[in-house]
Structure 1
């Protein structure tokens, strides 16, 4: 078989264990998953109401252009409908961009400790990956990333806020970087967690598009909107860039139901505001826990926190799983000695932190 040489030994994405798997493994009646940055409050109640009464003809293909959803987002963001690209989640949009642009002989610049799919897709396409370590604050080191750009650079990926650190790279630094990078290099701002940003200095990145057509912004309905199971991601860019990306998008990549629930979720901004406020309170629970126990943590602008445990991440991860909580081990993310934990409800956070105390005491940390 004539498989690409570059995928030899490349590992497929490894999702975490499901709640059912953990229940079976440890004979538990209740398991709480706080590993994948899903919204613990679910989706808008209006989505549930729609689904209870939806009348869908399952034999008919969905609208391949996502016309109604396209119009709704264009009006919400005040952009042209031709400036939007839809994917089966942000993962799909990353693949679309990589497939359209990357190839052997070209390179892509990413942060070293960021979302792994940027690198993964670059390897599949045979492009060189230039990974630049984050700053001590956990921000993208945009000065060194700019230095890594050369005539063969095709894409620069900036995850902002960053996954898995949750940190926010300031808007003024983003703008200075965009001004510096050649206009034939696509700069992707992945803003999957934008709804959770509380920093007053953050500037809406869509304002960059008018002056810098080489900027592409990615967003999703999987996080704050609580619609991860429907897989709806979208990108905003110049009409020229979007038109070049569209041919590599698979047809009908958003289902009938996913398009409808995304529109309903978008309309219920009061629900998003409520989730953001609850998330802020939950984040404060984790920060207070870390400060009291002198555990380092990255300042988060997302619905998760990357925090130190001063022990083997896998051991602590397993200890929590035995107690009914699924989180993400830092070993799997490239940050040993840390856990990435989704911020849950107040009750979930309180119970998890109690269990984490137990595990850390067992490991001699506390």
Structure 2
């Protein structure tokens, strides 16, 4: 046994040196076990890898199938001759319009290069090495990745019946000290949500010196009858940060613009670590125009509602267990290794998302598409099932 340990020590020492005998630069120890974020595959990549021709249907990344709003597209075109200039670092006009829309003060808003940048900046600003943070499992994985990179101890609370388990989160808060509690509502990748009474219970039980990070990326897809106006809790709970994005229903995923809402003190801290000009000029112009494109928003919501019903009904008819969705995607249990279904669908020109990296090895997540795209997915899924069953 001693010889084995000695050999392992020698091997680990050699790993620090490359083949030319030059010592390698040391990196953060916590990066050693970090797994890269895995995005949905782009259409062009799938075409190259599989040699596919014809139309490819991407139902993997929860993007808006209607695309960018016409008003946002016009704003981009009208601004192309300005891209030799740096953007407004303060995002003045976008903040002003958001404050009017949300009925909050401008100093309570921070813009980000996607809301994921704000997640990263919150971790960087409010945690130290070995601090404990809490998240439901599964939930948006970038919170976990950012926390681990910063040396935090991530405590995960398993879902209960495919929904964030608020009671267990509160029990954990009563037993241990946490710097941040993260909650995505609705949940990604499950699609489920907690309702207002559950959120109130959670907020009431989070200590005032623990930051609550409420990620509402899919808020715009929730039915008005159950959607929570979480901004009304900001006055009472000074430790609350709400995240929203223009990547989903607004159709601006490729421009990367999201925002956080919090009390002014938290926002001023986040401003210290924000990179200059983090939201580019075209993103600011497009987001400002997209906010007021009510026609595009309604069409996007209506199409998504129909898509959720269509996908859910057809998947259940095929015998699959489907999680009730309040988002723009449906997650279902294939009752087999989901990568097999994923790969066969991809060869047929349909890209979906296996979520085995979230610990759900038999589940697939499917973004709603156009009526044609939804129909093609169902047809080709049936073809795949005939092959594997």
Please give the alpha-carbon distance, in whole angstroms, between the structure 1 residues aligned to 2:139 and 2:306. 25
Q: How many residues align?
A: 363
Say whether the 8 Å CA contact 2:219–2:227 is kept in structure 1.
no
- Say which one has the larger Rg: 2
Say whether the 8 Å CA contact 2:65–2:370 is kept in structure 1.
yes
Consecutive unaligned residues in structure 2, runs of 5 or more: 1-24
User: Which of 33, 37, 44 is equivalent to 1:13?
Assistant: 37
Please give the alpha-carbon distance, in whole angstroms, between the structure 2 residues aligned to 1:102 and 1:124. 11
Which residue is 2:334 aligned to?
A: 309
Name the SS of the counterpart of 2:111 in structure 1: strand
Post-superposition shift, 1:361?
Answer: 1.7
Which residue is 2:222 aligned to?
A: 197
Please give the alpha-carbon distance, in whole angstroms, between the structure 2 residues aligned to 1:56 and 1:252. 18
Post-superposition shift, 1:293?
Answer: 1.8
User: Which of 302, 321, 335 is equivalent to 2:346?
Assistant: 321
Give the stretch that moved more between structures: 266-275 or 64-73.
266-275
Please give the alpha-carbon distance, in whole angstroms, between the structure 1 residues aligned to 2:80 and 2:207. 50
Which residue is 2:28 aligned to?
A: 4
Deviation per CA, 1:212-232: give whole Å up to 9, x if none. Answer: 111110000000000001100
Name the SS of the counterpart of 1:157 in structure 2: strand
Deviation per CA, 1:243-272: give whole Å up to 9, x if none. Answer: 122111111100111100000000112211
User: Which of 68, 71, 84 is equivalent to 1:43?
Assistant: 68
Runs of 4+ in structure 1 off by over 4 angstroms are: none
TM-score by length of structure 1 reads 0.96
User: Which of 168, 184, 188 is equivalent to 1:144?
Assistant: 168
Please give the alpha-carbon distance, in whole angstroms, between the structure 2 residues aligned to 1:310 and 1:141. 24
* Match status 1:63 vs 2:94: no
1:1-366 to structure 2, matched below 5 A, reads 1-29=25-53, 30-136=55-161, 138-149=162-173, 152-198=177-223, 200-364=225-389
Name the SS of the counterpart of 2:377 in structure 1: helix
Deviation per CA, 1:179-223: give whole Å up to 9, x if none. Answer: 111101110110000000016133210011011111110000000
Give the stretch that moved more between structures: 60-69 or 26-35.
26-35
Please give the alpha-carbon distance, in whole angstroms, between the structure 1 residues aligned to 2:188 and 2:359. 11
Say whether the 8 Å CA contact 2:130–2:152 is kept in structure 1.
yes
In structure 2, the CA distance between the partners of 1:201 and 1:20, relative to structure 1 (3 Å rule), is: closer
Please give the alpha-carbon distance, in whole angstroms, between the structure 2 residues aligned to 1:16 and 1:223. 14
